[in-house]
Structure 1
Amino acid sequence: MSCPECFRGTVHTRTQPTGGFQNLGGIRTYIAGGSDPTRSKSTIIYLPDAFSLRLVNNMILADKYAELTGCRVLIPDIVFNNGLNPDIFPYMEMTLTPIPKFSVRSIAQKVLATLYILPQVLPFVLFGHPKRVYPKLLQFTRAMRQEIPAGGKLGVSGFCWGGWGSTMLCTETTIDGGSERLIDAQFNGHPSYLNESADMIRRAIEEFRVPYSSAVAGDDWEFNAQVANNIEANIRERLSEGSGDGNEDYKYEFKVYKGCKHGFCVRAKEDEINMEGYNAALLQAVNWFNKYLN
């Protein structure tokens, strides 16, 4: 499920997106700037957080992926209601920050801030689960797979809201009833909705053998270090008792970023700890995709 931190963050304004929009597979899609077909024939589908393309951070990060991997990077506009408006950030901060000293004014500010964000956040919580748009996402992903030239591969990245979809896609084949896996490499950051879907992660790694990488916020209401460590330990135990294929046939990693909060891969506060985590997670994803897509 979504947690309060899913709706909290910072708008990054130090740079601007360099890509553009196009209709792909019937879906408005951001095509990141910086890709280089002479370096890579592969494509990465970027599944954003709850703010989707309304938050410039997602396009900026997609541009960085394209620039550093050469891959074509796509953000389909499929989040419920086109995503939340980032203008709720300061109101979420006001709502969630403890009051240092009681006063009628501070209580009133919290109440007003809550009344402002509820009409936006409540519908998303009720109707915004990624499973509601998953059939559309699967159709889009399979269509993009068909467009990849010979020698190219398909990766997927997912953040917060997008982490469920990026993982679910790893359990699919290129066509219904087929045998070829749809996804060749996956990366997610501070994923939501996965605590109750650990078996989906296991299937992605064990059954489909998708190289699976996750950047975990040390300070997270949901998918935190304990959850990630338990999942990884369970997978290692299962593989050690398996058919003898050997753990080297299964590629996965769960990296915990101590001190970082949920959202740090995309909406990081521009302080030292969270920006260090932001840049390290960017490098983690880029290295993963370069290794398994290029």
Structure 2
Amino acid sequence: MSCPDCFRGAQHNHTEPKGTIETIHGIKTYVAGGSDPSRSKSTIIYLPDAFSLKLVNNKVLADEYATQTGCKVYIPDVIRNGGGVLTKIYTIFLILPEAVPFMLFGKPENVYPQILDYARAVKKDLPAGGKLGVAGFCWGAWPSTKLCAETATPGGSERLIDAQFNGHPSYIVNTPDMVVDAIKKFKVPYSVAVAEEDMQFNKAEAEKMEARLRDDIGVSGGEQGYIYEFRIYKGCKHGFCVRAPLGKTKKEHDSENEDGYHGSLKQAVEWWNKYLN
């Protein structure tokens, strides 16, 4: 399975990243926001697509989350740091982008233990009253979903994640039980931005997932207290939450994916402000 829309998207040059690169719990991490704890005590872990910190768009989007929520946002470079083969053949992405199977670059479960340890360490560092959110895109949507069923400490009972958002997810279409468990186990608010024309998790798959959830745990916002949403972005393709072309000329303009980019940004920010702040 390949992910050509990840490669066709644009690099965003409308602004420069405002965050810093730091080593957090042993992992190279992009850090956005968090300078004003009076606005928010919460932190969001941003699990990116396979381009990770190599793609400026991920940093720019993290900056937007930080600015609009007041939360601190971390992008841990877990793909480069722990992915092994990812580092060695990253240049192939640049040489033969549409010929390289996305799966070649490592399934997320290969580095999931490292992601879990990182998230637990970040949770432990939160100030009193702080909450932990997680965002995942493409590759990152699988670990962001799985983290929702984890405890804050090994063998503990407190949930690790307080709210989850993912955009144009990969892999989760093959693991519907994991999505059910992510919502059911600790009632973590779970939000997804879905590209209508995604080659994997598209409108049809999202509708099937919602039907499964209604059967297994009931409707969102019902008596059982489960909260979930799958918003479909008409005409959008995989990668739209991060790589949609912005501000192009009329001839080049991709209004559906650009509108989807702004819509999914608003969706995520509203989710964070409701459940983390």
Q: TM-score, normalised by structure 2?
A: 0.89
Once superposed, what is the RMSD of the aligned Cα atoms?
A: 2.2
User: How far 1:37 sits from its partner (Å)?
Assistant: 1.2
User: How far 1:117 sits from its partner (Å)?
Assistant: 1.1
Q: Is the 8 A contact 1:7 1:50 kept in 2?
A: no
Q: Is the 8 A contact 2:43 2:71 kept in 1?
A: yes
Structure 1 residues 118 and 289: CA distance shift in structure 2, 3 A: closer
More deviation, 149-158/31-40:
31-40
Distance, in Å, in 2 between the alignment partners of 1:275 and 1:202 is 30
Distance, in Å, in 2 between the alignment partners of 1:200 and 1:41 is 29
Alignment-derived partner of residue 166 in structure 2: 188
SS across alignment from 1:260: coil
User: How far 1:233 sits from its partner (Å)?
Assistant: 1.1
Q: Is the 8 A contact 1:189 1:214 kept in 2?
A: yes
Distance, in Å, in 1 between the alignment partners of 2:26 and 2:275 is 29
SS across alignment from 1:138: helix
What percent identity do the matched residue pairs reach? Answer: 58
Alignment-derived partner of residue 266 in structure 2: 283
Query: Highest Rg: 1 or 2?
Result: 1
SS across alignment from 2:21: strand
SS across alignment from 1:12: coil
Q: Is the 8 A contact 1:18 1:34 kept in 2?
A: no
Q: How does 1:2-81 map to 2 (within 5 A)?
A: 2-33=2-33, 36-79=36-79, 80=83, 81=86
Structure 1 residues 19 and 164: CA distance shift in structure 2, 3 A: same
Structure 1 residues 84 and 163: CA distance shift in structure 2, 3 A: farther
Provide, for residues 204-256 of structure 1, a one-character-per-residue CA deviation record: whole Å limited to 9, x for no partner.
11122100000000110000011111111111122249xxx944601110000
Q: Is the 8 A contact 1:20 1:32 kept in 2?
A: yes
- Corresponding position: 1:121 with 2:100: yes
Q: How many matched pairs?
A: 263
More deviation, 57-66/270-279:
270-279
Q: TM-score, normalised by structure 1?
A: 0.84
User: How far 1:272 sits from its partner (Å)?
Assistant: 1.4
Q: How does 1:1-294 map to 2 (within 5 A)?
A: 2-33=2-33, 36-79=36-79, 80=83, 81=86, 84=90, 88=94, 116-117=95-96, 121=100, 125-240=103-218, 246-247=222-223, 249-270=225-246, 271-294=254-277
SS across alignment from 2:100: helix
SS across alignment from 2:78: coil
Distance, in Å, in 2 between the alignment partners of 1:30 and 1:211 is 25
Structure 1 residues 62 and 35: CA distance shift in structure 2, 3 A: farther
